[in-house]
Amino acid sequence: PYRRRGIMSEAAAAVIDAAFERTPLDRILWECVLGNKASLGVARKLGFRFTGQALGMVPTRIGATVPSWTAELRQDDSRELKPGWPI
């Protein structure tokens, strides 16, 4: 009942803002399992720039790497939607 209500986007935006304000980070990397359209939608909405498809950097519970979509958000990036995301 909590899906598609913007809760994850709002929470992730707060974490991103805090990370940029409270740490020396200048970019945040994002990835999700290839085909996870819900996660892709959140990253897109938050202003991440799609960087492609690669084996994920975060291993699964059994230690495997899986094909993933990747993106990044730089501290000085606008938070507007950016072109180039998979449909």
For position 5, what pLDDT does the model report?
A: 86
Task: Return the exposure string of 49-79: e unless at least 16 CB atoms fall within 10 Å of the residue's CB, then b.
Answer: bbeeeeebeeeeeeeeeeebbbbebeeeeee
For position 82, what pLDDT does the model report?
A: 97
Look at residue 41 and give its three-state secondary structure: helix
For position 62, what pLDDT does the model report?
A: 92
For position 36, what pLDDT does the model report?
A: 94
For position 60, what pLDDT does the model report?
A: 85
> pTM value?
0.89
For position 58, what pLDDT does the model report?
A: 85
For position 16, what pLDDT does the model report?
A: 97
Report, as ranges of residue numbers, the positions in the chain whose pLDDT lies below 50: none
For position 17, what pLDDT does the model report?
A: 97
